[in-house]
Structure 1
Amino acid sequence: MIVSCSDKLDFNQINNYIHKPVLTSALTYFKVVPFQFFDSNGVQQFEIRDVTRFEGFENTYIRENVVKINFNAEIKNEFNRDVTIQAEFLSENDGLLYSFTPIQVQENDLNFTYLEEIDVTTNQSVLNTAKVRIIASIENTGTPMNPNDTSEFEFKSSITFFIESEL
């Protein structure tokens, strides 16, 4: 014979429970060297653009329950000039939905980190994001870069979703 004791259980307390998972995913990564800033005629350009498909909001659970988004970036700038990064969320038709604060990375900064938080309740348009555009602009010092230089500029970014949902 087995005997046990228990208090009266309140199964209704689950009705007030808010599930708050936090999900992080890689977003964009690229590495460039000076020769990539030169066109086919050998003329230095001061900007490189990268557009990446973004499918995070195609997930209904995320789309309906995300309350905050963090955009995180880690940057290594071995160049001997400053670099400005502009990150943008775009719609399917390339319409601008959200533009992050420009990221200013000083020359030879090898451990730059950046974080920007988006409150989804006040920025509902971000839920229509289908693409992410990153624009890297190098400082025009008046002296051209050496296309044979092996220094690198590396950009890594991720996105963190903060979700709140009832069971």
Structure 2
Amino acid sequence: MLLMLLSFSCSSKLDFDQVNDFKLEPVFIANLSAFEIPANQFVVNGMEQNMVFGAKDFDIFRDASFQKNLRRADFFFEINNTINKSYTIDILLLDGNDQLLETISFIVPAYSGTQKLITQTEVFENARVDLLKRTKKMEFVITMGAGPALNANSPGSLKLRSSATVYLLVE
């Protein structure tokens, strides 16, 4: 009787090759960089000065697994200038030998009494993602443009916030 029951049991052929079609596509969102510079910090010994922020390390791009699986990265930038002076902000992407790989530039108009947020998204995919994988450092260069002279009592600030959305493909 048991033999007869087993011969009528349900079974299907198992396909273990399905594991070869398995893909994970995780997405990570993280803060990239942020700063706020008061207007008076652009004045040193009574003289207006441009600023250069030392190179910031990109630790996440050193992980071999991360580099292998990185398919796309979107960098989002938001800049708010409340200083009555225009600026150019250049973000330099550098390799391990401090060689320039790419420059991301922003033209920031002078504050005129109403808030004007400058937003920009930089998409890294295909050949550009390969460049990003070689990036080891990020440097900020802030150059002053037109506007009245600044002094130790000048109001306002220059703010930058940024984030990265990273897309991976794990097969």
TM-score category (smaller protein): 0.7 to 0.9
The 5-angstrom pairing of residues 104-123 of structure 1 reads 104-108=107-111, 109-123=115-129
CA distance in 2, matches of 1:10, 1:105: 58
3-state SS of paired residue (1:20): coil
Letter in 2 for 1:20: E
Q: Which deviates the most, 4-13 or 18-27?
A: 4-13
In the other structure, the counterpart of 1:35 is: 40
- Higher share in helix: 2
Number of aligned residue pairs: give it. Answer: 159
CA distance in 1, matches of 2:29, 2:102: 19
CA distance in 2, matches of 1:156, 1:79: 17
CA contact (8 A) 2:73 2:129 kept: no
CA contact (8 A) 1:85 1:104 kept: yes
In the other structure, the counterpart of 1:18 is: 23
Give the alignment partner of residue 132 of structure 2, picking from 126, 129, 134.
Answer: 126
Q: Which deviates the most, 24-33 or 6-15?
A: 6-15
3-state SS of paired residue (1:57): helix
Letter in 1 for 2:51: I
TM-score, length basis structure 1 = 0.82
- Identity over aligned residues, as a percent? 28
Please list every run of 5 or more consecutive structure 2 residues that lacks an aligned counterpart in the other structure: 1-8
Please list every run of 5 or more consecutive structure 1 residues that lacks an aligned counterpart in the other structure: none
1:49 aligns with 2:52: yes
Note the C-alpha offset of 1:127: 1.4
In the other structure, the counterpart of 1:154 is: 159
Note the C-alpha offset of 1:87: 1.1
CA contact (8 A) 1:69 1:120 kept: no
Letter in 2 for 1:156: R
CA contact (8 A) 2:90 2:106 kept: yes
Note the C-alpha offset of 1:69: 1.6
Residues 32-69 of structure 1 show CA distances to partners (whole Å, capped at 9, x for unaligned) of 01111122x31112x21112121111122211111212
